[in-house]
Structure formats: C-alpha cells, structure tokens
Amino acid sequence: MVGIVVVSHSERAAEGIAEIAAEMAGDTRIEPVGGDGQGGIGTVPDAIEAAIAAAAGGDESVGDAGDLDPVVVLVDLGSAVMNADVAVELSDAEAVIADAPVLEGAVNAAVAATDPSATVESVREQAEAARDVDKL
C-alpha cells in the first residue's frame, strides 16, 4: 500500500483536501498536515515528518523502515516544498514529493493508490498527471 500526505499552509485546507481525496481512497492512509503548529498559517517539518510516518503505517519512533509503506507527499506552495523536503530527508519511510496541483493530485494519487500493484512511483506519476487536466 502507498500512503499519501497532503501538506498545506492552512490546516483546514489540508484537512478538506484529504477529505475529498479520501472519497476515492478505499483503505489508503491519507494524512493532512498544515499550519504553523500555533494556529497560524505555515508549515513545520516535524509535523510533516510525523504525517509521513502515520501515512506509512508507523509513528515517529519506528526504527525499521522495512515495515513502512512508501508515501507520496503533495504540497501547496513555497515553503511547504522546502519543509516537505526536510521532512522526507528525516523520515525513515520511503517518501517522495509529487510536483502536482495539491487537490487534483491528491485525488489522482488516492485513486492510483487503490491499485493492489501500486508503487510509490506509479502513485506519484498519477498525481503529477493532474497538471494536464483541463477544467473547462
């Protein structure tokens, strides 16, 4: 199974995007994370790392990365990318950041992750395919 993390500068936005994607996700773990940890706008690497661990099926104290599922991380903009990079580097789980629009990418990733043969690369590719979706 491949987990998904939705990172936004707004905690409410991350939760809403994860809620929408979860409609398509089956048993896929989708973890929202956002805000500065004090109720404001921003992102925090430690919180993103914890969300990656949860989406991977572990927690921050997990020491054996072999027991963790891979994770695709979707971010909204700017410093979320930088902080997600830091979190991915610190994480014990295999995690990649998708270069995708966060909402459409999360939905595509959720659908892709339901495939029993899904890999971190196949889920990331489907998330990134959302860049080419016309809305009108």
Three-state SS for 17-58 is HHHHHHCCCCCCCEEEEECCCCCCCCCCHHHHHHHHHHHCCC
Which is nearest to 84 in space by CA: 3, 2, 8? 8
9 is catalytic: yes
The pLDDT tens digits of the residues spanning 22-79 come to 999 889 999 999 999 899 999 999 999 999 999 999 754 444 556 899 999 999 998 9
Q: Which of 5, 9, 92, 109 is flagged as catalytic?
A: 9
Q: State pTM to two decimals.
A: 0.92
